[in-house]
Amino acid sequence: MASLLCVGVGHVGLPLSLKLWQAGHDVALVDIDISKIESLRQGVMPFLEDGSDELLALAAGSERFRPLTYGDERFPDQVAQAEYVVMTLGTPLGTDYTFRYDQYFDVLERMVPHLSEGVTLIVRSTVAPHFTHNVVTSRIAAQRDWVPGVDFHVSFCPERLVQGEAMRGIEELPEIIGADDRETARKAERLFRSLGAEKRIHHVSTVEAELAKLFLNTFRYTLFGLANEFAIIAEQHDADIFRVLEAANGGYPRGGIPRPGPSRGPCLGKDTATLAFSSSASMIAHAAIKTNENIVLHVAHELRAALGSLARRKVTVFGLAFKADTDDVRDNLTLPLVNVLDREGAVTGLYDPLVAGHDNSEVVRGSDAVVVMTPHSAFRSLGENDLVGLCGRDRREVYVFDLWNIWPWADRIFGRGSEEEHEDIGNGRVRLADARGHAAPARTGS
């Protein structure tokens, strides 16, 4: 088992550090956020992650698990002892739509003087093409006068977990190991093999691994963008996107169109933006960003149409977290929506039972409209009467817009056109005549 230093113990770094500890390694962790380190010392998870509380409670009582601050006098020694340094720092998006690497620059400045020869550094953040070589490898080589692949090793191994399912994902997901020489690849593989002997491992160069991560998220974000575009097109034709998807995907081997819904978050939207703004050949990535972000304008348009005007109307948005059943609010689409509503004079409220500071349902009281932006389980379980009760109004006074198809009784469900003029037949329904009075299509099948 190896001596490790994990730098940046956020949503990616902390679950991985815990799993590496569980695999038997000696794990020191450092984070610039002192409150996070203090919380780890107490054995308390600083954010929600399924299955992590129990593991942290065990790790916190062990000598092999050492949360550190930079001020800790053991920090230089921990760096020097580390056979592996795993870097899971944030790479947030700047206003120019490209990653900001300040966290990496800061860490390299603090750490590089103390590294020991032979160390292997694993870059696990999502980065732009060539960042690993041009910044991490090059800076260390220049500062220490070391030869990469001989005196030290740097590998890019992207994380592909889904928040909330991190603990399982770390064990089960295939690893992509990006390395530019055989010895570095071997050392990186040895670390990840310790997490699961059966783990599937793909060896590629560092830039290929960087692209693999960006391509994957851009691909998924493009699909979600397309699903959202289809939803709006379905609405414009007074069709129901869910019935269209069922018909298109059901039992058909080349189906797989995803369901629509607001989508962004700290991976999909961010990585797509970085790819879009780092290559002249990325038109579809730009379109994916636009189509996903357009939902905010679409919602504002629908609310305006339903309420007449947004001026002085109270609109409460349900869900600030970008993903269901998490408390992670990074890069959500809720705040852009609130900005649009605010600028039209609406009185906006935000309700998210999982996000501190927004968990008081009192904010819902008096709403003229409610919009569901995150499909938390807590929202799914709300009935129509519960919601009306929270609003403290008559049902007819509250317009409910559900972006996730979780409330069948909502006034509007994203992607669902007119509900009128249908008749049950067989396993589904047929449209008798559409709302605009066109001729009814012939009934077919059963």
Ligand X SMILES: NC(=O)c1ccc[n+]([C@@H]2O[C@H](COP(=O)([O-])OP(=O)(O)OC[C@H]3O[C@@H](n4cnc5c(N)ncnc54)[C@H](O)[C@@H]3O)[C@@H](O)[C@H]2O)c1
Rank residues 10 and 417 by Cβ distance to ligand X and give the closer one.
Answer: 10
Contacts of 175 (CB under 8 A, 6+ apart): 157, 189, 192, 199, 200, 201, 202
User: Side chain identity at 429, as an amino acid letter?
Assistant: R
Stretch that binds ligand X, among 102-110, 140-148, 287-295, 339-347 (CB under 6 A): 102-110
Of 4, 21, 52, 90, the one binding ligand X (CB under 6 A) is 90
**By CB under 6 A, residue 68 contacts ligand X:** no
Residue type for position 282: S
Position 187 contacts ligand X (CB under 6 A): no
- Min. distance of Cβ 443 from ligand X in angstroms? 47
- When binding is defined by CB under 6 A, the residue of 5, 7, 341, 372 that contacts ligand X is 7
> Quick check: 106 binds ligand X (CB under 6 A)?
yes
Interface residue with ligand X, options 4, 5, 8, 180 (CB under 6 A)? 8
Task: Please select the residue that binds ligand X; options are 4, 5, 6, 11, rule is CB under 6 A.
Answer: 11
Please say which residue, 233 or 335, places its beta carbon nearer to ligand X.
335
Q: Which two tokens stand for residue 362?
A: 């009192």
CB of 385 vs ligand X, minimal distance in Å: 36
6/167 Cα distance (integer angstroms): 16
For ligand X, the nearest residue by Cβ is: 10
> Whose structure tokens read 């037949």?
425
Place of tokens 């870097």: 87
Q: Is 212 an interacting residue with respect to ligand X (CB under 6 A)?
A: no
For the CB of residue 9, give the shortest distance to ligand X in the complex, in Å.
5
232-271 residues near ligand X, rule: CB under 6 A: 266-267
Copy the structure tokens of residue 16: 């991985």
Residue 340 interacting with ligand X (CB under 6 A): no
Q: Which residues, other chains included, contact 71 with Cβ-Cβ below 8 Å and sequence gap of 6+? A: none
Q: Could you say whether residue 374 binds ligand X (CB under 6 A)?
A: no
Instruction: Single out the residue of 126, 206, 274, 292 in contact with ligand X (rule: CB under 6 A).
Output: 126
10 binds ligand X (CB under 6 A): yes
Query: Which residue among 159, 189, 302, 434 contacts ligand X (CB under 6 A)?
Result: 159
**Does the protein bind ligand X through residue 107 (CB under 6 A)?**
yes
Partners of 155 in the β-ladder:
122
Residue 91 or 218 having the CB closest to ligand X: 91
Among 163, 263, 326, 332, binds ligand X (CB under 6 A): 163
Verify binding: residue 218, ligand X, rule CB under 6 A. no
Residue 91 near ligand X by CB under 6 A: yes
CB 115 within 8 A of CB 144: yes
- To ligand X, the closest distance from the beta carbon of 127 in angstroms equals 7
Burial classification of residue 445, based on how many CB atoms lie within 10 Å of its CB (0-12 exposed, 13-18 middle, 19 or more buried): exposed
88 binds ligand X (CB under 6 A): yes
Which residue in 68, 85, 89, 273 binds ligand X (CB under 6 A)?
89
| 214 within 8 A of 274, measured Cβ to Cβ | yes
**Sole binder of ligand X in the list 33, 181, 397, 419 (CB under 6 A):** 33
- Residue 125 touching ligand X (CB under 6 A): yes
Instruction: Give the binding site for ligand X (CB under 6 A).
Output: 7-13, 30-33, 36, 88-91, 103, 106-107, 125-126, 159, 161, 163, 266-267
